[in-house]
């Protein structure tokens, strides 16, 4: 098992995994156009991999990506008298079904937790599903109250 940052060669696997992840949790999306999604996701992933804001961590087994976690760094507004460090937003945490419950996701998350600490990022936020709360808790995360949201109409 190799845990590493995603590379351009992983884009098509990442697109397929994002599609599968979405369909697994919302079958109503399966009638969407894969080609349209693929084009949009490809553009996003190319920008993400070439930029310095997104970090996509993958677990690779025998040349195949089997798990991934996406991290977006958020810059904070500086504050007088305090060193300002970025924080991380975690999203799109997914392991393909046949590789679940083998500790792979926890290994990827552990790698990210070390990377967060080593780079002095202030904290990580993630909005877990009900099913994943224990996964985060066993990896050192604290369940907090929901943030406030605004949806423009």
Domain boundaries, the chain: 2-138
What pTM does this model have?
0.92
Question: How is domain 2-138 classified at the CATH fold level?
Answer: Aminopeptidase (3.40.630)
Question: What is the predicted pLDDT for the residue at 150?
Answer: 80
Report which listed range, 41-50, 82-91, 144-153, is most confident.
41-50
Report how far residue 72's alpha carbon sits from residue 80's, in angstroms, rounded to the nearest whole number. 25
pLDDT digits (tens, 9 = 90+) for 93-122: 999 999 999 999 999 999 999 999 999 999
Report helix angle 11-25 to 34-50, nearest 10.
130
Residue 121 makes CB contacts below 8 A (sequence gap 6+) with: 73, 85, 86, 87, 88
Closest CA to 13 of 54, 45, 53: 45
pLDDT score recorded for residue 58: 98
Share of the chain above pLDDT 70, in %: 100
């Amino acid at each position: 098992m190799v845990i590493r940052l995603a590379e351009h060669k992983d884009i098509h696997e990442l697109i397929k995994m994002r599609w599968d992840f979405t369909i697994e949790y919302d079958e109503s999306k399966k009638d969407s156009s894969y080609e349209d999604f693929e084009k949009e996701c490809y553009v996003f992933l190319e920008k993400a991999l070439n930029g310095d804001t997104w970090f996509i961590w993958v677990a690779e087994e025998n040349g195949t990506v089997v798990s991934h976690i996406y991290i977006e760094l958020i810059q904070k507004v500086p504050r007088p008298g305090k060193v300002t460090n970025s924080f991380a937003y975690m999203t799109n945490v997914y392991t393909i079904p046949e590789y679940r419950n083998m500790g792979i996701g926890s290994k990827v998350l552990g790698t990210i937790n070390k990377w967060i600490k080593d780079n002095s990022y202030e904290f990580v936020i993630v909005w877990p599903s009900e099913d994943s709360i224990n996964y985060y808790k066993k990896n050192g995360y604290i369940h907090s109250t929901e943030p406030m949201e605004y949806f423009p109409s």
